[in-house]
Structure 1
Amino acid sequence: MLAKLAFGNMRKLMHDYAVYFLTLVMGVAVFYAFNTISVQADFLSNSLSDVLKQVGEIMHGLTVFLAVIMGFLMVYANNFLMRRRKKELGLYQVLGMRAGQVNAILTLETLMVALISFIVGIALGALISQLLLFVTADMFATKVDNFRFFFSPDALALTFFCFAITFLVMMVMNSITLSRVHLIDLMSAGRKNEKQFVRHLPLSFVLTALGLVLMGYAYWRLTTQGFPLGGSNPEPGQTTTNDFLVTTALVVAGTFIFFYGFAGGITLILQRMKKHYWSGLHMFTTRQIASRINTAAASMGLIALILFFAMTAMTSGMSICATLNKSYEAGVPFDASIGVVGSSLEEKTLDWKAYAKQAGVDLDAVGDTVSFRVGYMTNGEGNLTIDSLNEMSAFTGKSIPQGYEKAVAWEAISLSDYNALRTFKGLDPVSLDEDQYLYLCNMDTLESFVNTALEQGFTITAAGQTLTPARSSVIDDDSCILQNDAIGKTPGIYVVADDIAEELPNYRWALDINYRVSTENGDLAVKDLADTIAASNEELYVGSETKTNAALEGTTTTGLISYMAIYIGFVLVIACAAILAIQQLSNASDSAMGYRTLSELGCPEKTIFSSLRTQVIFAFALPLIVGIAHSICATAAVNKLLLMFGQSSIIENVGLGIAIFALVYGGYLALTYRMAHGVVKGAIRSARHAL
């Protein structure tokens, strides 16, 4: 008998709150599908196998984090439904059921919902994971080999563990809820008015204004201070971790205070707009909206914050990937580069061909090459000078752009080597006098600062000689990238006359190669040459960067970021939209008799459904607007951070993330309205049949 009742209740629950069941199914499916990446590695390039397995470990940890958040939201949704079912539960006790029997019904319902949603979700996730394999291959710039249907027991176990805990907590919370209420409370639950947290206009205004002030102040702190970049020992004036935590606390507190004060303030303001307030169903709509916000102020604040996190993760993550891809393309202009750092060596030249011969490599056969030497600037005592930008700041009176306080600008290359590199890249050579220098810099944020110093004739001392700028602006073309570099940005390199460069101490040597042979043979030759140089002298630091390795590292990084951004954004948006949907469906069900009465009084259906549509849209839009405001501020700070490091703006690349977010969130809004429309329409139709 109890099982039959539980089964009937479950069917009703799935019918009336299909969004709840759909969200559980989608949650299981997404959790399973995204955690199959380790298995997907078996179908992709061997070079990516180890990388994807490491990504899989990261995804497992991320899944636990997301499961905690989604579990919390699902438990809240379950408790919300429990509050709406108090009268039903009280009726069971009136009919003679003991509290233990009612609790058994709730437990059976939860187990049935869990079992069905888990089975359906895993089945759906298994299908999604097959498609996700090809998405993964595209993200990591590889192809699928020997595709066959696959299933991941590890992903199944992790998904089961996460959702088992969630459903267990639901059962415990249901038992606690039932044990803490009396029969009279259960039976009278449907007649209780919603508690109004804020009633008076002055207090409402104070809370709303205080929330806005706190959020605005947090925005100002984040946009001016930025993220903490100074580590554990920041320089004076740099943002610390504590500063960032204070900013975070301010925006969280401001969000909740705003939602607690908003309902009362907006209600009392509209009441004073009598012409509008008494027109149509505006009074009814306003009261309904205010009541819902008052009831769910805390959850709306939490949803706004989670939406902010989801939007920022999705839009910023995917746009950062697009930005990094551009950087990889610009930062790796050669098929390969070998760099040798050895300031302890006294020789000014490095015999690349001798090392190549020793390694059994014919450089002329491998490809076209260009080599150069880089020295370093010194102060009067011969020590390394790293404060050129500080000297520029003192000279011009302008502050160094934020984030560049520790930037290095002390390397110098001879004019001959630099022109050889320009010729190798197909650029025209440049010229300068013996007492002049050129400055290479392709970081947009830093360029204007350096240009100011160059325009005012900033001088440097190299090899005991005073040098003046040969031009009033930096050189920011492709020649700024002396060798392959994944970032592809140069804060500052000096170009000086050959005689002066000859006197500067050694810092590093580099060899750039464009292959004539196949990429595989060329990469092998570069590896052999780099290993031979490293083995010849333990004091040398030898590194190589091939276009192949850079592409692999780049696609791995961007693929991982994209994967995580989509995963985080998708799961959190689904969870938040589901909570809002359940709230609105519950509200529509509770208010069905009110809509029925309006219809009986002659109110047109068009007006009734317009009021319903306004309520649903407002409930979805209010936390979304607050979340968007937070996200815009955070995205601007991230964008500023990228520009600080010379990367392109991410604002240009947020379209795809916004499109995905709008599709998911907007889809839930539309589905919620259609279901609420059906509930209200059914109530109206039943009234007409009764007449």
Structure 2
Amino acid sequence: MYSKIAVGNVKKSFKDYAVYFLTLTLAVCIFYSFNSMGTQKALIKMKSVSTLMKVMSYTSVFISIVLGSLILYANNFLIKKRKKELGIYMTLGMGKRKISTILVMETFLVGVISLISGLILGIGASQGLSAFALKLFDLPINEYKFAVSTGAIVKTVLYFGIMFLLVMIFNVFVISKYKIIDLLTAGKKNQDVSFKKPIIYLIAFILCAVSLGFAYKSILKVGLNVLDPMFLISIALGILGTVLFFFSLSGFILYVVKKNKRVYFKGLNIFVVKQINSKVNTNFISMSLICLMLFFTIVSLSVGIGFKTVIDAGIKKSTPFDASISVQNKDEGYNIEDVLNKINLKISKNEKSVAYNEYLIGMKASDFLTTGDFKKEDVDFVKLSDYNKILKFKNEKEVNLNKDEVLILSNNNAFMKPINEKIKNNNKINIKGKEYLIKNPKAIEENLMTAYGTTSFFTIVINDEFLSGYKISKSVLNVNYLDKNREKYNKKYEKRQDYGKGAYILGISKDAVYSESMEETNVLIFIVIYLGIVFLITSMAVLALQQLSEASDNIERYKALRRLGANKKMIDKTIFVQIFIYFSLPVSLALIHSVVGIKVTSDFINNLQKIDINSSALVTALIFIIIYAGYFYTTYVGYKNIVKNNL
């Protein structure tokens, strides 16, 4: 008998509270999809994928806590809405233990249905995620194979099994605390919403505007400099401003709309405004949290998806050769070719190489640049003959310089912008008391060696005679392989060791730079996407559940509207407007936050490499709209059903 009641209750819940089941299914789907990455054979051998799966396992623990909290919240909402039903069970003589048994059965059924539907959807979604991963790791798409991860299935069942077990325990505990009188009268109790004086909301709104304005201005100024105290202050003020916004919103909106009598008394607007105000007043903390999670989602997905392109472009610029090995010591002036002979590292017939030297003459970037803080940054000098050897090595046209001409090289945006501005205003530079003409109209974007990042911060190419009296500060050998067996040569040049008096030998291969950068970048991108989607679903689910909770709480109010002459069409329109406004409030502020957040993040990345987030922003918008529209529609239909069934 109990199992029949449990099955009937689950069927009824599916109809009225589809949001709950939609959330559970999506949660299982996403959890499985991201934890099944290691199954794709083309990815298994890659070191970065093994690292990704390790990080993913730790992240999944945090995600499970977030999803577990969401499931408990949603379950608590369902129990709250069923108080009257549970009271009737008790009135008919059913004991609390038997009611608990029914709830345990219901939770078990819901868990099984959600797991099965979520896993089926997840197996399909994981194939698309695997294809995306192959593209991200620069592997041919024809290596893709359909795969189902038994390990990810077991992990998903285990994690969500624990979550549903906690829900069962929670339900038993809650039922044991209820009294029959409280259950039977729950539907007649209205939440006491207290509104403060309008002046309090006005002051809160002004403080909100000041906090957010100062936070935006400060973060735009300091950027992502986490060491600057203003960075943390800006974050704190942004959070405070968000909370104050939603706290002040209820009283502020009510005050403004009341002043406009035409709007306030038109149709059922007075009812809609009171409903929105009471809900925002009650849930301003949760709405603030939702807004911040949506902000993280929008920024992380918009910038994160396009970050891969930026990193790839940056790697291409910083690795012009298959390998580079250098020795650095400005006191001794070591030459790389002599050093390699002494450590018995020979260049084979299957390799091409070119060597060049860098010199320091005591000139700082601040001697030329008037904007920016470059006091500590040295200017590197390279002989014209060495630079031409590099150009010839790359099959590029060599350059000629007169005695009073120089070239300026830079491959770092923080230097390039002020250098280009300076050249535009004055194309001459003073070096050791003599003026030289800068031949190039703007800084030449070029790395002279393969490195983990841009090494040409501020490099001047000058005629050989000028540097004849200076010691070598760094000597570099650039190598290109003629043999396809790259791994053998990579091991040969990937060296890090001390040499002589304070000198240091450093060898770097293009493949090593790409591998390490790809590992860090791809792990970051996947984690950001994982967290972003989970936060988006959590935010939408909480908004939906809060609205459905209001539907049940306000049945008597809708009955009163009906008695006053409101027809079904008017009530449906009221429900639509109410849900639309409630869903839009946190999204709107999150979008404003995101404009600033994307600007700050983009500026930070642009210092390394120019970024174009148009395509990634479009993908983010598509994901956001699909999930937002899905939850909005499901909430609207569920809300209408609850009102319709009780009128």
TM-score computed with the length of structure 1 as normaliser: 0.83
Shift of 1:553: 4.2
In 2: Cα distance, 1:649 partner to 1:486 partner: 22
In 2: Cα distance, 1:633 partner to 1:110 partner: 43
Aligned partner of 1:545: which letter?
S
Alignment of 1:510 with 2:497, yes or no, is: no
State the partner residue of 2:255: 268
State the partner residue of 1:234: none
Aligned partner of 1:608: which letter?
I
The DSSP-based 3-state class of the residue aligned with 1:371 is strand
Pairing of 1:196-595 with structure 2 (within 5 A):
196-230=193-227, 239-240=228-229, 243-334=230-321, 336-343=322-329, 346=333, 348=335, 350=337, 359=346, 361-362=348-349, 366-367=351-352, 369-378=353-362, 388-392=364-368, 396=370, 398-400=371-373, 408-425=377-394, 428-434=397-403, 437-451=406-420, 459-461=430-432, 466-471=433-438, 475-478=442-445, 480-488=446-454, 490-514=456-480, 517-518=482-483, 520-521=484-485, 524-525=488-489, 527-528=491-492, 530=493, 540-546=504-510, 548-591=511-554, 594-595=557-558
Name the CA shift for 1:211/1:164 in 2 (closer, same or farther; >3 Å): farther
Deviates more, 1:168-177 or 1:662-671: 168-177
Deviates more, 1:96-105 or 1:423-432: 423-432
State the partner residue of 1:11: 11
Query: Does the 8 A contact of 2:328 with 2:334 survive in 1?
Result: no
Alignment of 1:91 with 2:88, yes or no, is: yes
Aligned partner of 2:411: which letter?
N
Shift of 1:602: 4.5
Query: Does the 8 A contact of 1:312 with 1:631 survive in 2?
Result: yes
Aligned partner of 2:472: which letter?
N
Name the CA shift for 1:624/1:536 in 2 (closer, same or farther; >3 Å): closer
Name the CA shift for 1:496/1:80 in 2 (closer, same or farther; >3 Å): same
Shift of 1:431: 4.5
Shift of 1:482: 0.8
Could you report, residue by residue, the CA deviation over 1:200-256 in whole angstroms, capped at 9, with x for unpaired residues?
3222222233333323332233222233454xxxxxxxx04xx44443333223322
In 1: Cα distance, 2:184 partner to 2:382 partner: 85
Shift of 1:522: 5.5
Deviates more, 1:670-679 or 1:25-34: 670-679
Name the CA shift for 1:8/1:162 in 2 (closer, same or farther; >3 Å): same
In 2: Cα distance, 1:125 partner to 1:439 partner: 54
Name the CA shift for 1:260/1:486 in 2 (closer, same or farther; >3 Å): same
Aligned partner of 1:664: which letter?
I
Aligned partner of 1:38: which letter?
G
Shift of 1:498: 0.8
The DSSP-based 3-state class of the residue aligned with 2:359 is strand
Query: Does the 8 A contact of 1:447 with 1:474 survive in 2?
Result: no
Shift of 1:531: 6.7
In 1: Cα distance, 2:351 partner to 2:189 partner: 84
The DSSP-based 3-state class of the residue aligned with 2:378 is coil
Shift of 1:593: 5.7
Could you report, residue by residue, the CA deviation over 1:557-602 in whole angstroms, capped at 9, with x for unpaired residues?
4433332232122122112112222222333344456546545655
In 2: Cα distance, 1:560 partner to 1:504 partner: 45
Structure 2: tracts of 5 or more residues without a match? none
Query: Does the 8 A contact of 2:579 with 2:632 survive in 1?
Result: yes
The DSSP-based 3-state class of the residue aligned with 1:410 is strand
Could you report, residue by residue, the CA deviation over 1:330-373 in whole angstroms, capped at 9, with x for unpaired residues?
33334x132212426545462699799964711xx545x44311
Query: Does the 8 A contact of 2:359 with 2:472 survive in 1?
Result: yes
In 1: Cα distance, 2:585 partner to 2:375 partner: 41
Shift of 1:278: 0.9
State the partner residue of 2:607: 644
In 2: Cα distance, 1:642 partner to 1:259 partner: 32
Query: Does the 8 A contact of 2:268 with 2:574 survive in 1?
Result: yes
Name the CA shift for 1:399/1:333 in 2 (closer, same or farther; >3 Å): closer
Shift of 1:66: 1.8
Shift of 1:624: 0.9
Could you report, residue by residue, the CA deviation over 1:509-557 in whole angstroms, capped at 9, with x for unpaired residues?
3334455x45x245644644x37997998955131323x4444445444
State the partner residue of 1:59: 56
Percent identical pairs in the alignment equals 28
Name the CA shift for 1:625/1:489 in 2 (closer, same or farther; >3 Å): farther
Name the CA shift for 1:590/1:45 in 2 (closer, same or farther; >3 Å): closer
Shift of 1:56: 0.1
Structure 1: tracts of 5 or more residues without a match? 231-238, 379-384
State the partner residue of 1:233: none
Alignment of 1:29 with 2:23, yes or no, is: no
Aligned partner of 1:44: which letter?
L
Shift of 1:277: 1.0
Aligned partner of 1:500: which letter?
F
TM-score computed with the length of structure 2 as normaliser: 0.88
In 2: Cα distance, 1:314 partner to 1:648 partner: 14
State the partner residue of 1:631: 594
Query: Does the 8 A contact of 2:382 with 2:462 survive in 1?
Result: yes
Query: Does the 8 A contact of 2:32 with 2:153 survive in 1?
Result: yes
In 2: Cα distance, 1:438 partner to 1:19 partner: 64
State the partner residue of 1:235: none
Deviates more, 1:438-447 or 1:560-569: 438-447
Shift of 1:279: 0.9
Shift of 1:451: 4.8
Aligned partner of 1:193: which letter?
N
Shift of 1:620: 1.1
Aligned partner of 2:256: which letter?
I
In 2: Cα distance, 1:328 partner to 1:208 partner: 47
Deviates more, 1:92-101 or 1:423-432: 423-432
